[in-house]
């Protein structure tokens, strides 16, 4: 009655998870900085090398690769910001839906649990690009509710398309985190007459937040990098713009590497700190387990 | 309805002169494992009973059945006349009458000690937060944890955590307290501080059911001692009698080991 059937009544976990949260051993607040710099320098260096090489090959009247990037920098950045916007919105939508799905997958109602499990597995095991296509072609370009027409431009559909796998992964993150709490928390709450809903929202989920954060951030970097797939379905994000810039500059083959290298650098600069931070949180959580 | 005005009867027809808790022929199996095989016992208001017995004899299961954490297979359990083994059981009503303290404390680690104590009265009983806080602070003082109100459980010692857990249960103003080996996870030095708290409760007239391995404590505070083995109550009696001349061989063997 307290636990869901998927987590069989294990005899109350012994101490590990309840161990006092000690703030011992002064840790380095940040992971070694050297590594970050080295990585970034490496990439910039590589870019310079490619750009320099490209410059050497360039004709007299042609802009250098650098020049091209600088010339189109505002446009490319607006594209990149669009990628980030898509990633943030998909993540928000997917997180909310995923928490709902995750909670349904541990509910006491068997049909609800089955459905949630099915949805989770389905969307978790489908390629993201397929889900994106699925969203692009299944969702109408506008909705009519109470006589109000709500347009659904391509980029909104893309947001939904990316939110689907986020939802499924989030559902698993929630289920895993809830299952990892010692059963004593449920028992204590139950013996204090908390309802299941109160127990979940006031006692279980707040404790799960810490556990869910690293995998959630990890998921976010994955979504961010996946957003470039939106170019395939015609959303004008960074990769689409790069192709357009390339065409506008006469389709010079020597520009391909620098331009795409620049895109790579943008994503790297954005995602790598998140990645580092995630690892730091993970390590800290590990230390306190 | 037609209540006799001379005795105050509750909604289940229970009067305070009847046993506060009555178990009759309770059976419980986990799969093919028979854990309780016909347990009957009565606990009167203000009584302190201790349940002792070897590991795996079903003590925890027994005590968890009383507040419906575990459903029983057959038999009846009544708490102030309320039938616990009833599909339509009002669990909230039952659990506000029955407090429970666990071996592993099970405090909510994301809330401070005071918040742990206040949570259930505020959110379950919907009592006024200010009044609950006054009461919670008094309870913290009662368990000798003044000054630790704003500390998180992780920064408290085991004995301190266990006393917060006791205060948390008391905040619901239960009529009976269940203690399941509440000192078993503690260092020998901190065992005493928890036992002192429980003894004070017992002396104030709180009805208590204790599962314990502390024989000395059982002898001292219990009104009645029950010995369980393999899901049955083998022997019971007032502590003086029970410890001085145990009759059953199994009781003798067990006491010989632990004393
Ligand atoms: N939820 C459960 N599912 C299956 N078996 C269980 C469950 N809870 C307890 N048991 C089993 O029931 C038996 C009695 O357990 P119980 O915890 O009641 O014993 P106990 O007397 O409290 O022992 P201890 O002194 O070790 O705490 C044990 O064999 C235990 O493994
Ligand atoms: Mg036990």
pLDDT digits (tens, 9 = 90+) for A6-36: 444 444 444 444 444 444 444 444 444 455 5
| Ligand 2 centroid distance, CA of A184 (Å) | 13
Tens-of-pLDDT digits for all 289 residues of chain A?
A: 444 444 444 444 444 444 444 444 444 444 444 555 666 667 667 766 665 655 555 555 678 888 899 999 999 999 999 999 999 999 999 999 999 999 999 999 999 999 999 999 999 999 999 999 998 888 887 778 888 888 888 899 999 999 999 999 999 999 999 999 999 999 999 999 999 999 999 999 999 998 899 999 999 999 999 999 999 888 889 999 999 999 999 888 889 999 999 999 999 999 999 999 999 988 887 765 4
Q: How far is B177 from chain A (nearest CA, A)?
A: 11
The Cα B246–Cα B258 span in angstroms is: 14
The Cα B14–Cα B9 span in angstroms is: 5
Q: Tell me: the pLDDT tens digits for A231-243? A: 988 888 999 999 9
**Is A287 in the B-facing interface, judged by CB distances under 8 Å?**
no
Lowest model confidence (mean pLDDT) among A89-98, A150-159, B24-33, B169-178: A150-159
Any idea of the CA torsion for A245, A246, A249, A250, to the nearest 10 degrees? -140
We report the CATH number of the domain holding residue A161 as 1.10.3720.10
Distance from the first to the final alpha carbon of chain A: 28
Q: How far is A279 from chain B (nearest CA, A)?
A: 23
Q: Measuring from each residue's beta carbon to the nearest atom of ligand 1, which residues come in under 6 Å?
A: A 9; B 30, 33, 35, 53, 55-61, 181
Residue B210 has phi, psi (to 5 degrees) of -115, 125
Write the residue with the smallest CA distance to atom 6 of ligand 1. Answer: B30
Distance (Å) of CA A249 to CA A115, A228, A246 = 52, 21, 5
**Residue burial B67-97, b: 16+ Cβ < 10 Å; e: rest:** bbbbebeebebbbbbbebbeeeeebeebbbb
pLDDT at B43 over 90: yes
Nearest to A189 by CA among A180, A179, A177, A201: A201
Is A51 inside any structural domain? Answer: no
The Cα A259–Cα A250 span in angstroms is: 13
The Cα B30–Cα A39 span in angstroms is: 57
DSSP A87-150: HHHHHHHHHHHHHHHHHHTTSS-HHHHHHHHHHHHHHHSS-HHHHHHHHHHHS-SEEEETTEEE
Looking at residue B86, its pLDDT comes to 87
Give the HSE-up count for residue B221: Cα atoms under 13 Å, Cβ half-sphere. 27
The Cα B146–Cα B216 span in angstroms is: 28
Looking at residue A63, its pLDDT comes to 81
Is A14 inside any structural domain? Answer: no
Neighboring chain B residues of A191 at a CB cutoff of 8 Å: 67, 69, 95, 98-100, 169
Any idea of the CA torsion for A241, A247, A251, A256, to the nearest 10 degrees? 0
Is A228 inside any structural domain? Answer: yes
Looking at residue A234, its pLDDT comes to 86
**Residue B201 near residue B143, CB atoms below 8 Å:** no
Nearest ligand to the C-alpha of residue B52? 1
Nearest ligand to the C-alpha of residue A11? 1
Neighboring chain A residues of B98 at a CB cutoff of 8 Å: 191
pLDDT at B111 over 90: yes
Number of H helices, E strands in chain A: 10, 2
Looking at residue A132, its pLDDT comes to 93
Is A6 inside any structural domain? Answer: no
Is A176 inside any structural domain? Answer: yes
DSSP alpha helix (H) spans, B2-98: 59-66, 91-97
**Residue A220 near residue A91, CB atoms below 8 Å:** yes
Please state the pTM of the whole predicted model: 0.81
B→A contacts (Cβ < 8 Å), by residue, are: 64, 67, 69, 71, 91-92, 95-96, 98-100, 102-110, 119-120, 123-125, 152-156, 165, 168-169, 172, 185
Task: Estimate to the nearest angstrom the gap between the alpha carbon of B81 and the chain centroid.
Answer: 18
**Residue B70 near residue A156, CB atoms below 8 Å:** no
Domain that holds residue A87: 69-285
Q: Mutate which of A9, A182, A187, A190 to test ligand 1's pocket (most atoms within 8 Å of Cβ)?
A: A9
Query: Are B104 and A203 in contact (CB < 8 Å)?
Result: no
DSSP alpha helix (H) spans, chain B: 59-66, 91-97, 113-123, 129-142, 158-170, 188-203, 215-221, 239-244, 249-258
DSSP A41-82: HHHHHHHHHHHHHHHHHS-TTSPPHHHHHHHHHHHHHHHHHH
Number of H helices, E strands in chain B: 9, 10
Is A60 inside any structural domain? Answer: no
Looking at residue A140, its pLDDT comes to 81
Looking at residue A240, its pLDDT comes to 92
Q: Residue count of chain B, please give it.
A: 259
The Cα A74–Cα A210 span in angstroms is: 38
The Cα B165–Cα B155 span in angstroms is: 14
Cβ-proximal residues to A8 (8 Å cutoff; 6+ apart), any chain:
none
Is A209 inside any structural domain? Answer: yes
Structurally, chain A folds into a number of domains equal to: 1
- Angle ∠(B182,B187,B193) on CA atoms, nearest 5: 65
Is A9 inside any structural domain? Answer: no
Query: Are A21 and B155 in contact (CB < 8 Å)?
Result: yes
Q: How far is B70 from chain A (nearest CA, A)?
A: 8
Distance (Å) of CA A172 to CA A177, A203, A215, A216, A233 = 8, 19, 10, 11, 28
Distance (Å) of CA A83 to CA A86, A228, A283 = 5, 7, 29
Nearest CA in chain B to A3: B69
Mean per-residue pLDDT over chain B, rounded: 92
The Cα B171–Cα B140 span in angstroms is: 10
């Amino acid at each position: 009655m307290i636990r869901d059937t998927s987590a069989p009544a294990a005899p109350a976990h012994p101490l590990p998870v309840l161990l006092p949260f000690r703030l011992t051993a002064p840790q380095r607040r940040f992971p070694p900085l050297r590594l970050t710099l080295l990585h970034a320098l490496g990439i910039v260096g590589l870019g310079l090398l490619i750009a320099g090489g490209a410059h050497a090959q360039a004709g007299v009247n042609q802009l250098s690769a650098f020049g091209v990037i600088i010339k189109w920098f505002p446009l490319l950045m607006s594209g990149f910001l669009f990628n980030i916007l898509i990633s943030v919105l998909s993540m928000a939508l997917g997180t909310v839906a995923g928490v709902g799905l995750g909670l349904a997958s541990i509910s006491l109602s068997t049909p609800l649990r089955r459905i949630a499990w099915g949805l989770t597995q389905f969307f978790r095991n489908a390629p993201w690009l397929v889900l994106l296509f699925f969203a692009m072609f299944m969702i109408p370009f506008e909705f009519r509710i109470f006589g109000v027409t709500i347009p659904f431009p391509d980029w909104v559909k893309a947001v939904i398309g990316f939110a689907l796998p986020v939802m499924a992964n989030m559902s698993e993150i929630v289920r895993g985190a809830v299952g990892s709490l010692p059963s004593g928390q449920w028992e204590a709450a139950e013996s204090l007459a908390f309802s299941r809903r109160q127990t979940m929202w006031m006692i279980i989920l707040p404790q799960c937040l810490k556990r869910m954060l690293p995998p959630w951030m990890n998921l976010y970097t994955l979504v961010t990098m996946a957003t470039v797939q939106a170019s395939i379905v015609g959303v004008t994000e960074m990769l689409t713009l790069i192709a357009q810039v390339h065409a506008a500059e006469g389709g010079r083959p020597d520009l391909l590497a620098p331009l795409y290298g620049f895109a790579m650098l943008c994503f790297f600069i954005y995602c790598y700190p998140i990645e580092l931070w995630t690892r730091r949180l993970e390590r800290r959580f590990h230390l306190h387990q | 309805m037609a209540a006799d005005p001379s005795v105050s009867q509750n909604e289940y027809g229970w009067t305070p002169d009847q046993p506060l808790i009555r178990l009759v022929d309770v059976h419980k199996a986990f799969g093919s494992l028979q854990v309780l095989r016909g347990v009957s016992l009565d606990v009167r208001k203000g009584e302190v009973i201790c349940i002792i017995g070897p590991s795996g004899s079903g003590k925890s299961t027994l005590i968890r059945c009383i507040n419906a954490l575990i459903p029983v297979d057959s038999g009846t359990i009544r708490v102030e006349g309320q039938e616990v083994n009833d599909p339509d059981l009002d669990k909230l009503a039952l659990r506000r009458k029955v407090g429970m303290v666990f071996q592993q404390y099970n405090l909510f680690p994301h809330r401070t000690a005071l918040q742990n104590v206040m949570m259930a009265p505020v959110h379950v009983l919907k009592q006024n937060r200010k009044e609950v806080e006054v009461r919670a602070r008094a309870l913290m003082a009662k368990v000798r944890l003044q000054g630790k109100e704003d500390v998180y459980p992780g920064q408290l010692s085991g004995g301190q955590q266990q006393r917060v857990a006791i205060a948390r249960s008391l905040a619901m103003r239960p009529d009976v307290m269940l203690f399941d080996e509440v000192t078993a996870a503690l260092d020998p030095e901190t065992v005493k501080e928890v036992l002192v708290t429980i003894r004070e409760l017992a002396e104030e007239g709180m009805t208590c059911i204790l599962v314990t391995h502390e024989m000395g404590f059982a002898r001292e505070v219990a009104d009645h001692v029950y010995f369980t083995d393999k899901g049955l109550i083998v022997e019971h009696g007032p502590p003086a009698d029970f410890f001085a001349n145990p009759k059953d061989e199994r009781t003798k063997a067990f006491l010989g080991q632990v004393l």
